[in-house]
Structure 1
Amino acid sequence: MTDSDIVRYRLANQQISQPMFTKPAELVAWLGAVQGQDFLAAKWALGLRLPTTTETAIDQAIADRSVVRTWAMRGTLHLIAADDVHWILNLLRPRLHILSASYLRRLELDEKKLTKSYDAMTNALLGGKQLIRQELNVALAQAGIPTHDIRMNLLLVRAASHGLICCGVRRGSENTYTLLDEWIAPTKLRERDDALAELTKRYFLSHGPATLQDFIWWSGLTVAEAKVGIHSVKEQLIQEMYNKQTYWMAQRERFGYDTSLAVHLLPSFDEYLVGYKNRTAALGSLDFKQIVSAGNGIFSPVIVVDGRVAGTWKRTVQKNTVLIETNLFNALSATHQEGLDLAREGYARFKGLAVYGR
């Protein structure tokens, strides 16, 4: 196996080069979860993999509650299929609590204050209410819970990890928060071993080839848990050795797509990069700092050619049109330039806009 093989299989498994789903919830379930702290980027992450869909359809999937946005892997906002939210949160909760414990102690948020904050959020949101952050701030302040510094972030993440709250429909540019069990019907929880096996299988089928360390990074699970997960599903995967690392993936024969002419516009924080601890296959000799905004650690939207990062891009929306500007690290061939133009058109179609400028 080579780096070229790795990116080719990842493009296929992640539904970028060979999309096979038509509904957002089906795609999200296949991927396990889709990183979603940047909401606009997360919607395009789905649109990129659902060529016939639109941004409006993604918004509708969230409004229809088939896809839920909440804090999951690593305490980061993700999009998760509604049928999977409860068991995924239940699986990840112990690890998330361990990771947040030191922050909570530092900010003097003990169990008594956490429980008080849960009660305040519940009382404020009961009855299907969807409140923005400032409105929840007021409710918590009235209950005597401090929300300055990063306290509010931690309280939201902790409440979400307990399965108490999730994001509702956006109000303008602001997130809203609502009670999870009022937003979607509670589902039967999987036994822990079954949940671990299912999450492991979904990761390697959708993100493979990937290593144990990649899975640990993506899921936030411990080394021991990740090893148990792989052992439980290894009969459904194949393994390859490359650079003294074991890679796990779906069966090879499913994929034969030639990516050599494909150009893709990936959003910031796309699973194609953020889903792995080791991103060398996609970056090649690039310095990772070239695609991360200075000072804030935010992934830039990237241009991918032949599975490799070849530049960055940004978009400017004006009325009924969108300008897509590119920063290419090297000149493109005429064929790849045509591919880039097609990728621009695909993004504009997703937004329901016309492209202007090249």
Structure 2
Amino acid sequence: MTITWDQVRAWRLRRQFLEPRTDAPGAEVVSRLCGAQAQVKSSAALTALLRQAEPRPEDVEGGLADGVLLKTWAMRGTLHLLKGDEAGDFLSLAASARTWHSPPWQREFGATPAEVEALVDAVSSALDGRVLTRDELVAAVAADAGLAKLEARLRSGWGALLKPLAWQGALCHGPSRGAKVTFARPGDLAPGWRGVPDPDEAAPRAIAAYLGAHGPATPDAFNAWLMRGALRKTPLRRWFADMGDRLTKVDVEGEEAFALSEHVDELATAEPSRSVRLLGAFDQYVLGPGTNDPRVLAPEHRARVSRAAGWIAPVVVVGGRVTGVWEQVDDAVVVSMFPGARKPSMSALRAEAGHLAKARGTDVPEVRVS
């Protein structure tokens, strides 16, 4: 079956609750997107709120408070909000890459695989039924003479040594204690937590979830999204092959990719979109396929979106393509279209600015196009 990239983009907009927007709870939006990147907490909330027809800011905070949502290091080693009953699948596949077994990782972060394994046990024990700040957790772990040498590394704000522990389900972020980050065990926060399953069990669910929002896609695209290509190729290919007739190969303008079989008819009948959307920083519409995907973001404009220190800029999306960026400057939303991109109508941009204001609980800003 042959489909066009215009159809793919239109289908993704619909599947990701961007056209039309949804009445679904924030946690269900996060679920559909396979998480919301939460390096910046407000960006994760905005990812969900901008997809709701009537934004409900209490949805995300309430989801975290009752454990429906978890905040933890997940895809690409970045913080994400994930559904508590789904998080284990993505963590399992991230852990399967065993990045901490590579010599470069060990040289960079100063821990052996055996020490990481010991940390998993020590952290799980320290957090059993407790919520601890980083200082409290590190103090408990460093009391073990065999792990004391890792104390300085564990205190690093980047959390490099904590990420493999999160992938193995030993910890996640807990409720903030003032300005201090806390950690807990996922099972102590999320009633739906099912643990970290075997990768072969987790893979069909994780792949189906990804393709259901960001497909059609190749195994390499899934690998790049999940772990920047660090998954081993042999099990990755097997996971896709083992899904059998649940997946269908489609031809997208000469490129072969996989789609969920249940979505093929919808893809084939999708009508190209002309919608205009203002999306926040670190939005999953961009991160799902990745900023290297030229069908979403032209390579010559990538540096305008993917910036220094891993920052992903707020974007203007027209017809499913990223055609500009925007920023808040005082009381105005300033839109900067890429050279050669067609400027959306001011009425469409003002409508989007109005929805942005609803999501953020602010006055409607002026819109300027630079």
**TM-score of the aligned structures, taking structure 2 as reference length:** 0.82
For 1:331 and 1:345, locate their aligned partners in 2 and report how far apart those are by CA, in whole Å: 26
Code of the residue aligned with 1:146 in structure 2: it is L
Matched, 1:31 2:33: yes
Corresponding residue number in structure 1 for 2:297: 283
SS of residue matched to 2:245: helix
For 1:40 and 1:228, locate their aligned partners in 2 and report how far apart those are by CA, in whole Å: 38
Matched, 1:307 2:320: yes
Deviations 1:248-274, CA, capped at 9 Å, x for gaps: 224244366656442112222222222
Code of the residue aligned with 2:175 in structure 1: it is V
Cα distance change, pair 248–13 in 1 and its aligned pair in 2 (3 A): farther
Q: Where do 1:31-50 residues align within 5 Å?
A: 31-50=33-52
Code of the residue aligned with 1:254 in structure 2: it is E
Deviations 1:133-177, CA, capped at 9 Å, x for gaps: 455455555552434468742221122122111012234565432
- 1:38, CA displacement in angstroms? 2.5
For 1:27 and 1:233, locate their aligned partners in 2 and report how far apart those are by CA, in whole Å: 25
Moved more, 249-258 or 10-19: 249-258
SS of residue matched to 2:317: strand
State which of 353, 359, 366 in structure 2 corresponds to 1:344. 353
Moved more, 298-307 or 110-119: 110-119
Moved more, 173-182 or 213-222: 173-182
State which of 162, 167, 190 in structure 2 corresponds to 1:161. 167
Cα distance change, pair 87–339 in 1 and its aligned pair in 2 (3 A): same
Moved more, 102-111 or 75-84: 102-111
Matched, 1:328 2:337: yes
Deviations 1:173-227, CA, capped at 9 Å, x for gaps: 6543222222224426655433211111111121112222211111233322332
State which of 260, 263, 266 in structure 2 corresponds to 1:254. 266
Contact 2:135 2:155 in 1 (8 A): no
Contact 2:333 2:366 in 1 (8 A): yes
For 1:119 and 1:247, locate their aligned partners in 2 and report how far apart those are by CA, in whole Å: 40
Cα distance change, pair 345–60 in 1 and its aligned pair in 2 (3 A): same
Matched, 1:230 2:243: no
Paired-residue identity, % = 25
- 1:107, CA displacement in angstroms? 3.7
Cα distance change, pair 286–259 in 1 and its aligned pair in 2 (3 A): farther
SS of residue matched to 1:155: coil
- 1:349, CA displacement in angstroms? 0.7
SS of residue matched to 2:345: helix
For 1:313 and 1:171, locate their aligned partners in 2 and report how far apart those are by CA, in whole Å: 33
Structure 2 residue ranges without an equivalent (≥5): none
Contact 2:173 2:181 in 1 (8 A): yes
Cα distance change, pair 149–332 in 1 and its aligned pair in 2 (3 A): same
Code of the residue aligned with 2:223 in structure 1: it is I
Cα distance change, pair 5–213 in 1 and its aligned pair in 2 (3 A): same
Code of the residue aligned with 1:41 in structure 2: it is S
- 1:309, CA displacement in angstroms? 1.3
Moved more, 348-357 or 178-187: 178-187
For 1:172 and 1:264, locate their aligned partners in 2 and report how far apart those are by CA, in whole Å: 35
For 1:279 and 1:228, locate their aligned partners in 2 and report how far apart those are by CA, in whole Å: 24
Cα distance change, pair 335–111 in 1 and its aligned pair in 2 (3 A): closer
**TM-score of the aligned structures, taking structure 1 as reference length:** 0.84
Q: Report how many aligned residue pairs link the two structures.
A: 352
Code of the residue aligned with 1:290 in structure 2: it is R
Matched, 1:356 2:370: no
For 2:160 and 2:105, locate their aligned partners in 1 and report how far apart those are by CA, in whole Å: 8
Q: Where do 1:188-267 residues align within 5 Å?
A: 190=197, 192-220=199-227, 221-242=231-252, 244-250=254-260, 251-254=263-266, 260-267=273-280
SS of residue matched to 1:154: coil
For 2:77 and 2:101, locate their aligned partners in 1 and report how far apart those are by CA, in whole Å: 9
- 1:111, CA displacement in angstroms? 4.7
For 2:206 and 2:125, locate their aligned partners in 1 and report how far apart those are by CA, in whole Å: 33
For 2:324 and 2:37, locate their aligned partners in 1 and report how far apart those are by CA, in whole Å: 21
For 2:40 and 2:199, locate their aligned partners in 1 and report how far apart those are by CA, in whole Å: 30
For 1:326 and 1:205, locate their aligned partners in 2 and report how far apart those are by CA, in whole Å: 30
Q: Superposition RMSD on alpha carbons, in Å?
A: 3.1
Contact 2:305 2:325 in 1 (8 A): yes
Matched, 1:273 2:286: yes
Corresponding residue number in structure 2 for 1:12: 14
For 2:49 and 2:187, locate their aligned partners in 1 and report how far apart those are by CA, in whole Å: 27
Code of the residue aligned with 1:282 in structure 2: it is V
- 1:288, CA displacement in angstroms? 0.9
Moved more, 83-92 or 120-129: 120-129
Corresponding residue number in structure 2 for 1:146: 150
State which of 176, 185, 199 in structure 1 corresponds to 2:182. 176
Structure 1 residue ranges without an equivalent (≥5): none
Contact 1:208 1:248 in 2 (8 A): yes
Cα distance change, pair 169–20 in 1 and its aligned pair in 2 (3 A): same
Q: Where do 1:88-167 residues align within 5 Å?
A: 88-98=90-100, 102-111=104-113, 113-114=115-116, 117-118=119-120, 121-122=123-124, 125-131=127-133, 133-140=134-141, 144-148=148-152, 152=156, 153-167=159-173
SS of residue matched to 2:160: helix
Moved more, 267-276 or 106-115: 106-115
For 1:115 and 1:190, locate their aligned partners in 2 and report how far apart those are by CA, in whole Å: 17
